[in-house]
């Protein structure tokens, strides 16, 4: 699969909803009810991060059992991570940054990559490789909506999913930018609701996030 086809898949995923939840899951048994709650609330694209031993099992379960979910893998750091995510059934991969080895693994895989960039130089380097859809990370510490908005004119080919320090309150500032399709956020699946099995609470958070769609430029 060529880079352009994979870019089209990334764009389609970014356009599914205004927010992609960034999930840290400690118990794979929570994955399916959590994902069903998110989908029911209007948030189908879900990024499960490789920050816990349960992550790959959670991805497998969501991919196999949750209709309407588009499950991806986050915190992809190495080619090994990339291949494990693909085998688990992930539909997209997200990295906080990039390395030559990770980009080579992405070239050799059918799994679309949303790579991270925090500077204009990093974004330009990825653009040279054919990547038009990027994760801006860490969004708030790196400069926030003002920095990302400043890139819109000199880098009009690029569209972003800013992630890192974003909340329901601050998300509209990013979503109003012309070069932003969606944001990533961890507030939709807080640890207390995951551990407590509060799936209706997660569904409500998803519904609130889905309503942000109206502010997208």
Helix (H, G, I), strand (E, B) or coil at 71: strand
The catalytic residue among 47, 67, 128, 213 is 47
Does the active-site annotation cover 193?
A: no
Partners of residue 74 on adjacent β-strands: 49
The catalytic residue among 6, 135, 193, 203 is 135
Contacts of 79 (CB under 8 A, 6+ apart): 101, 102, 104, 105
Does the active-site annotation cover 47?
A: yes
Interatomic CA distance for residues 85 and 159, integer angstroms: 24
Residues 121-127: contacts with CB under 8 Å, at least 24 apart:
122/97, 122/98, 123/151, 123/155, 123/158, 124/155, 126/98, 127/155, 127/157, 127/158
The residues carrying an active-site annotation are 47, 135
């Amino acid at each position: 699969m060529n880079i352009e086809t994979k870019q089209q898949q990334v764009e389609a995923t970014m356009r599914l909803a205004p927010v992609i939840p960034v999930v840290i899951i400690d118990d794979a048994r929570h994955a399916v009810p959590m994902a069903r709650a998110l989908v029911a609330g209007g948030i189908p694209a879900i990024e499960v991060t490789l920050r816990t031993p349960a992550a790959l099992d959670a991805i497998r379960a969501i991919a196999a059992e949750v209709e309407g979910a588009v499950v991806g893998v986050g915190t992809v750091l190495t080619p090994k991570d990339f291949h494990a995510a693909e085998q688990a059934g992930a539909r997209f991969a997200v990295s906080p940054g990039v390395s030559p080895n990770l980009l080579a693994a992405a070239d050799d895989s059918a799994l679309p990559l949303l790579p991270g960039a925090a500077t204009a130089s990093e974004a330009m380097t990825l653009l040279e490789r054919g990547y038009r859809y990027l994760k801006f990370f860490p969004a708030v510490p790196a400069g926030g909506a003002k920095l990302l908005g400043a890139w819109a004119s000199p880098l009009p080919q690029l569209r972003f999913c800013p992630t890192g320090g974003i909340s329901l309150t601050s998300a509209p500032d990013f979503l109003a930018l012309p070069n932003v399709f969606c944001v990533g956020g961890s507030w939709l699946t807080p640890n207390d609701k995951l551990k407590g099995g509060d799936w209706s609470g997660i569904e409500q958070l998803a519904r609130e996030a889905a309503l942000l769609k109206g502010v997208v430029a």
